[in-house]
Every structure is written in structure tokens, then in C-alpha cells.
A and B are shown apart, each in its own frame.
Chain A
Amino acid sequence: MKEIHGDKLRGHLETLILATLERGEAHGLEILHRLELRGCGLLKLKEGSLYPALYRLEAAGEVSAAWEEGEHGRKGARRRIYRLSAKGKRKLGRGRGEWQTFVATVGGILGAPA
């Protein structure tokens, strides 16, 4: 199967992040690993793009973030741990509904229902 690159994920990335955080809090790289795992290695995301999406979600109150304690060998650099908020859970629910509508509509037009 062909890989799915960043531009095709545009507009869905934030919902995908929320879905990964539903499984528990995580830092940026862990979120990427979860996306990769659940996308069976087909999702290819420029990793620098993850953080702007996380900052937007944080500004919207859909995730909360806290610095982890200690640097764990990364001299002078700590990670931030992201957690899904109640608002984020509601947005994820809406995102799933919108995705199902999108797939049903476009799939119907293409003659390739999900």
C-alpha cells in the first residue's frame, strides 16, 4: 500500500492526535510512535509538524500539557507530557462523526464504500 504523507493528513492531524491521547497521556515522540503503529507504518508525518498541532490543541483547551520531571539524558531539554481534556474528548467524538459522514459521502461518490 502507498504511504500517506503530511499534506493528505491536513485537517485530520488534530483529531488523530486526540485519538492517540485517548489511550493515555504521552509526549510528542510517543504520540508519533502511536500514530505510526496504528497507521501500520503508512502514515508519514514530518515530525516538526506535530508540535504546532499540539500547541493549537493546547491553546484551544483540548489537551493539557505539563513538563516532565528530569531531562532523562537529554542535556538541557525536557519533554512535555500531553493529556486529553474533557473538551478534547468532545471534539474527538465530533471528529469521528464528521469522518464517518465524509467517508460515507465521498465513498458513495467514488463507488468505494468503506
Chain B
Amino acid sequence: MSDSIEQELSRIVDSATRTVRASRSRKEQMREELLAHVKEVFAEEFTHTGDERAAFAATARRFGVAGEVKSELQLSIPFIERLFLISEKELLMSRNFWLSTVAAIAVGPAIILPAMAAYRDENIFQLFPFLLGSAILLAGLAMAGYGLFRHFARHA
């Protein structure tokens, strides 16, 4: 196999794997396995045709459209892995991030205030709602603080 063919085979695999959002080790594993596959297919096709260009074309055809393979590879990545690999830019642009922030800031006090009212009116201290509401409120404030700080830092 000539070097140029080897590079082109690598390019087929790279175009399908490069932008997949996955951990580095998983992407390297995918890349290595797919590269082994296309090299083997190329060898098979070359045995039939004896022509490198024809064998390369057949290999690319058999592999499929890189964009489609990439989409399928992306769907095979477990949700948790994708979640932890979300980039900061995507996080700050994410509607879910801001909705969660607003919801936490709204829900936290909605749990704390009745607990505080019960303490004021009946002198009963409800520890669990107080702690839960505080944790949710603090998480919401931390998310808002982080989001706003990073947003303005990026645009400064």
C-alpha cells in the first residue's frame, strides 16, 4: 500500500471520527478500529482489482458517507459521557442550563420560605426542607454566577 493511499484511508476515518463528541480514549479506539477495517477492506479490494485507485474508491464506497457514519458513532456514545464533554461555550449557550438556573433560584426559596414561616409561627424548625431548599438555591446562584461571569469574561 502506497503512503498516499494510506493517508487517504486515514482521512476517510478521520472525517468520520474527528468531530465525534467522546472521550479522547474512546475516539482513539474508534479511529484505530475503523482504520484497521478500511485497511483490510482496501487489501481485499486490491486483491480483486490490482489497481490502487479502484481499490480505494471501492473501499470508500463500502465504508459509506462519513457524515452519516459520524452521526451514528455520536449516537453510540453513552449520554453521561456526552454530558461531561460538553464544552463551556455549548454550556453557556444551552437553554437547559439557564432554565435549570432560573428553576433552582425559584424552587429553592419556595421550599425554604414555608419552613421559615413554620418556625416563625409555630416555632417548629423543619431541618430537611431548610437544607434542601438552601442547597437548591445555592446551586442556582452558583450556576447563575458562573454563567454570567464566564459570559462577560468571554465578551470582555
Contact = CB atoms under 8 A, between A and B. Distances in A.
A74 B35 contact: yes
B47 to A, nearest CB: 13
Contacts of B43: 73
A48 interface: yes
A47 B63 contact: yes
A53 B69 CA distance: 11
Contact of A48 (B36, B39, B40, B69): B69
B136 interface: no
A46 B37 CA distance: 13
Contacts of B6: 75
Chain B interface mostly: helix
Contacts of B32: 76-78
Q: How large is the interface on B (under 10, 10 to 19, 20 to 34, 35 or more residues)?
A: 20 to 34
B63 A77 contact: no
A9 to B, nearest CB: 13
A62 to B, nearest CB: 13
Contacts of B30: 51, 55
B75 A47 contact: no
A59 B26 CA distance: 12
Interface in A69-91: 71, 73-80
A76 B36 CA distance: 8
Given A51-B73, A52-B75, A76-B32, A28 B37 contact: yes
18 contacts: A48-B16, A48-B72, A49-B64, A49-B68, A49-B69, A49-B72, A51-B33, A52-B69, A53-B72, A55-B30, A59-B76, A73-B43, A74-B39, A75-B6, A76-B32, A77-B35, A77-B39, A80-B33
